[in-house]
């Protein structure tokens, strides 16, 4: 008895599916656009940068600081919802003057505050994409 190969399963057109792990949509957390001052400090230098966007996993900032991939920094910012966030971060990439920072061991309260801010902010950058109908 021969068996037919299993059919390929595809989600219905209106179902949200995770983004592929390539390109700008590979983020695991919902993000929100944000343009606020952010203090970034290394062991030997510090600067006030400007945020580009923010999510529970990290933040992107515009800066002229010569930060390199893998470098650890301290980050401090005040969210528009009245909560200050202070945590360690690691440089994950740099493109021109925009540096992507991944939060490292962020305090639970900071993660909750950032998630809350991202949920109520608009426009936001979703962590998943919707398949067009």
* 19 belongs to a structural domain: no
Look at residue 123 in the predicted model and tell me its pLDDT: 57
**What is the length of the chain?**
133
* 82 belongs to a structural domain: yes
Q: The whole model's pTM is what?
A: 0.71
Contact 119, 85 (CB under 8 A): no
Tell me which residue range forms the domain holding 104: 35-125
Look at residue 30 in the predicted model and tell me its pLDDT: 75
For the purposes of burial, counting CB atoms within 10 Å of the CB of 36, is it exposed (0-12), middle (13-18) or buried (19 or more)?
middle
* 42 belongs to a structural domain: yes
- Tokens matching residue 32: 């929100």
CATH code at position 51: 2.40.10.220
Kindly indicate the confidence band of residue 64, based on its pLDDT and cuts at 50, 70 and 90: very high
pLDDT tens per residue across span 11-57: 333 333 333 333 454 445 678 899 999 999 999 999 999 999 999 99
* 1 belongs to a structural domain: no
* 16 belongs to a structural domain: no
Look at residue 31 in the predicted model and tell me its pLDDT: 83
Q: Tokens 């740099």 belong to which residue? A: 94
**Residue ranges of the alpha helices (H) in 1-133?**
108-120
Find residue 38's DSSP bridge partners. Answer: 49
pLDDT tens per residue across span 90-114: 999 999 999 999 999 999 999 999 9
The answer on pLDDT for 67 being more than 70 is yes
* 4 belongs to a structural domain: no
């Amino acid at each position: 008895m021969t068996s037919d190969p299993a059919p390929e399963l595809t989600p219905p057109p209106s179902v949200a599916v995770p983004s592929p792990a390539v390109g700008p949509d590979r983020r695991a957390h919902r993000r929100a656009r944000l343009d606020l001052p952010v203090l970034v400090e290394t062991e030997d230098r510090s600067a006030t940068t400007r945020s580009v966007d923010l999510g529970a996993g990290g933040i992107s900032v515009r800066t002229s600081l010569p930060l390199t991939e893998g470098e650890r920094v301290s980050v401090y910012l005040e969210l528009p919802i009245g909560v200050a966030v202070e945590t360690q971060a690691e440089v994950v990439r740099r493109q021109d003057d925009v540096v992507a920072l991944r939060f490292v061991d962020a305090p639970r309260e900071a993660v909750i505050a950032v998630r809350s801010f991202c949920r109520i902010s608009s426009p936001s950058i979703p962590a998943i994409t919707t398949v067009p109908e």
